[in-house]
Chains A and B, each alone.
Chain A
Amino acid sequence: MELLYAASVGLLVSCGVFLILRSRTFPVVLGLTMLSYAVNLFLFSSGRLSLNSAVVLGQSSEYADPLPQAFVLTAIVIGFAMTAFVVILSIRARADLGNDHVNGHVPEINNKRKV
């Protein structure tokens, strides 16, 4: 289970980093979302992975650490707000700057190719 879990976090992070390094805002926003998914999974695992264990006392023989779950919840809420903001900001940037590049201008090479 640990290997699968770690591999999926790693995959999400690498996809996220790859997408964040793109030059257009849409992939960047997607990359940020993926990175935040990876972070949420990672935070969740910081209380160690276990099966069939409850966080409420008296419910099962084994107990899970409730704190990482609270962290993840907080991180999800904050991440959701931030993603909403960055989506709106990218749309505004697309309207204001006339293109969807993070730098605000279309690179020279693309222009030449069009001509």
Chain B
Amino acid sequence: MIQHLSSLPILLPMLAGVILLMPPCGKSVSIRRFASVTFSLLTFLISVALLLKVQIDGSLVYAIGDWSAPFGIVLVADPLSTLLVCLSSLLGMVCILYSCAGDDEQGSYFHPLVHFLVLGVNGAFLTGDAFNLFVFFEVLLIASYALLMHGGDKKTTRAALQYVIMNLVGSAVFLIALGVLYGVLGTLNMADMAQKISLLQGDDVYLAKIGGLLLLVVFALKAALLPLHLWLPNTYAAAVPMVAALFAIMTKVGVYSIMRVYTLIFGDEAGELAHMAQNWLWWLALATIAMGTVGVLASQDLRKLIANLVIISVGTLVALVTIQTVEASSAAIYYLVHSTLVTAALFLLADLIGRQRGKVADRITAGTPVAQPALLGVCFLIAAIAVIGMPPLSGFIGKVWLLQATLNTEYSMVFWALYLVASLAVLFAVAKAGSTVFWHHQTNGSKNKPPANMATESSIKDRVQPVQIVAVIILVAGAPLMSLFAGPLSEYAIGAASQLHDFNNNIDLILLGGK
């Protein structure tokens, strides 16, 4: 059992999804919720167990069907991938918990779909084979298509149609890229590709370059990098909040793939093709931050604002990834975990706030006061401080770290200026949004305290349900916990990043050490 541990974060959600489709779970709502929460908790615990095992025994390579590395498909559980598997399992669990308040019944098959999405995301993080990566991308995409339609209206259908068409074209490009790379290299095992790419000669180099850059286009589409980011704000704002929170991990799958492919395959050892896209990516990442900032300032409602915050975080992450040093990558890993948790928390909070404000919903204007200002306000304050990056929460540590990591790079001053202005703009926009939503009321129109009888006004239905607040608190608690345990976490991130950059170790591990 223990040697199959690295495959369990993929197998368990698949099993859970299938079981949840079957009669006892399919018919009764309470059984379905119970089974779904149990399974997601189990997936999370197994992911944590895998993380601990990797910490103790070093990275694991699992050859599926015992076909060894260059021929069969391998799953690589190293510190980076297991950390992200834990993150996605946690996010899946929180979203399922949140949906148990009643949102899961707005459409059919919510629970199985979430498990399938977690399956796809975990698979994409763990796999060491490029074609297998494509398959897991498709698994997570088709689950995300269906989840996006969950409980939706006209607006959602339009956003979903555009999202699906965009991603289908992306999948076609992905396949063409894989075809080109396979035609040149004769392998799609990532470690084997990394080894063979430096041996290419003549025209094959250009073919490999085409393949690699096409891959980059696909990953940039998933990650929502600048010219390909237009789908994101509409999609995230149209999705049901817990689905949007779950989608917070999906852009990170794109960033993770860029990290893997461009550090391992097209990294230092790639001969002529080493760091071929670095300059492009760096400026595109900066432009993405700028665009996200403009979007944040222009947002009319909370969900759009958070969706634009996601774009800023993607830009920041990609900028860090292109620097290609251990320090930058470790900062990226820390920032990735932080930004995923915080944006997911904000999506859920925006929903809770929107529900209590009646007609104005989550639009950033004066309206009906929130029924539970203390509870939601404190949660929002913590999440906002974390996302802005003010001390003492995790955002601040991430920000200092990433500024430090970029200090010695060529264009660091451009990055510093842009990033700090962006932070200021985010501070301004989020503070304005928070104060408008919580303090400006239509009835009295001033910053007075909300009327005392307000709690009785709101109906029971709109009040935050215990499972919802538990889900939000799990995510919001991430920010203080990540700054409290910043020491061990940053050590972990540095370890994961140094393993990511250790070319020979990776090759040996995957091609020779496959058990």
The interface of chain A, by Cβ under 8 A from chain B, is 20, 25, 28, 32, 35-36, 38-39, 42-43, 45-48, 67-68, 71, 74-75, 78-79, 81-82, 85-86, 89-90, 92-93, 96-97, 102-104
What are 29 contact pairs spanning A and B, CB under 8 A? A20-B165, A25-B161, A32-B172, A35-B169, A35-B172, A39-B175, A39-B179, A42-B179, A43-B178, A47-B182, A47-B183, A67-B182, A67-B188, A68-B179, A71-B175, A71-B182, A78-B138, A78-B171, A79-B171, A81-B142, A85-B142, A85-B145, A92-B149, A92-B157, A96-B158, A97-B154, A97-B158, A102-B161, A102-B165
A20→B169 contact, CB < 8 A: yes
Is the CB of B160 closer than 8 A to any CB of chain A?
yes
| Chain A CB within 8 A of B135 CB | yes
Q: Are A32 and B168 in contact (CB under 8 A)?
A: yes
Contacts of A38 in B (CB 8 A): 172
A-B contact count (CB 8 A): 88
Q: Which of B158-194 contact A (CB under 8 A)?
A: 158, 160-162, 164-165, 168-169, 171-172, 175-176, 178-180, 182-183, 188
A43 close to B161 (CB less than 8 A): no
Query: Across the interface, do A89 and B160 meet the contact criterion of CB distance under 8 Å?
Result: yes
Contact of A74 with B135 in the complex, beta carbons under 8 Å:
yes
A45 to B168, CA, bound (A): 21
Q: Is B419 an interface residue (CB 8 A)?
A: no
**Which among B153, B172, B179, B183 is the interface contact of A36 at CB below 8 angstroms?**
B172
The answer on a CB contact under 8 Å between B162 and A96 is no
Q: Which of B178-215 contact A (CB under 8 A)?
A: 178-180, 182-183, 188
B73 to A: closest C-beta gap in Å: 11
B169 close to A78 (CB less than 8 A): no
Q: Is the CB of A74 within 8 A of B161?
A: no
Interface residues of B (CB under 8 A from A): 131, 135, 138, 142, 145-146, 149, 153-154, 157-158, 160-162, 164-165, 168-169, 171-172, 175-176, 178-180, 182-183, 188
B160 and chain A: residue at smallest CB distance? A89
**Centre residue among B142, B158, B162, B179 by max chain A CB count within 10 A:** B179
Whether A104 touches B169, Cβ cut-off 8 Å, given contacts A71-B178, A75-B175, A78-B135, is: no
Q: What distance in Å separates the Cβ of A14 from its nearest Cβ neighbour in chain B?
A: 13
Pair B138/A85 contact, Cβ less than 8 Å = no
* Distance to closest chain A CB from B89 (angstroms): 24
Q: Which residues of B contact A48 (CB under 8 A)?
A: 183
> How long is the Cα–Cα vector from A86 to B172 in the complex, in angstroms?
14
Name the distance in Å between A41's Cβ and chain B's nearest Cβ.
10
New A-B contacts (5) at CB < 8 Å, excluding given A71-B182, A86-B164, A97-B157: A20-B165, A42-B179, A82-B142, A89-B145, A97-B154
Q: How far is the CA of A89 from the CA of B169 in the complex (A)?
A: 16
Q: Known interface pairs A46-B183, A74-B135. Does A93 touch B158 (Cβ–Cβ under 8 Å)? A: yes
Give the Cβ gap from A109 to chain B, nearest Cβ, in Å. Answer: 20
Asked whether B161 lies within 8 Å of A93 as measured between CB atoms, the reply is: yes
Q: Is the CB of B164 within 8 A of A74?
A: no
Sorted nearest first, the 3 A-B pairs with minimum C-beta distance are: A104-B158, A46-B183, A46-B179
Chain A residues within 8 Å of B183, by CB: 45-48
Set A43, A68, A82, A93: member contacting B138, Cβ < 8 A = A82
CB distance from B214 to the nearest CB of A (A): 12
Interfacial chain B residues near A39, Cβ < 8 Å: 172, 175-176, 179
Complex contact A96–B179 (CB within 8 A): no
Closest to B168 in A: A32
For A86, give its contact among B131, B168, B188 (CB under 8 Å). B168
CA distance A32 to B165 in the complex (A): 8
Q: Say yes or no: A82 contacts B171, CB within 8 Å.
A: yes
Instruction: Name B131's closest neighbour in chain A (CB-CB).
Output: A71
Q: Is the CB of A46 within 8 A of B165?
A: no
CA distance A54 to B170 in the complex (A): 32
**A96-B154 contact given A46-B179, A71-B178, CB 8 Å threshold:** yes
CA distance A86 to B169 in the complex (A): 12
Residues of A within 8 A of B153 (CB): 96
Q: In the complex, A102 Cα to B164 Cα: how many Å? A: 11
In the complex the two chains form, what is the Cα distance from A82 to B405 in whole Å? 41
Contacts of A36 in B (CB 8 A): 168, 172
Q: Which of B158, B160, B168, B183 has the most CB of A within 10 A?
A: B168
- B175 proximity list for chain A (CB < 8 A): 39, 42-43, 71, 75
Chain A residue numbers with a CB within 8 Å of B145 are 85, 89
Q: Is the CB of B161 within 8 A of A90?
A: yes
Of A28, A39, A90, A97, the most chain B CB neighbours within 10 A belong to A39
The answer to whether A86 and B165 touch across the interface, beta carbons within 8 angstroms, is yes
Distance, CA A46 to CA B171, complexed state (A): 17
Question: Which residues does chain B contribute within 8 Å of A90, judged by CB atoms?
Answer: 161
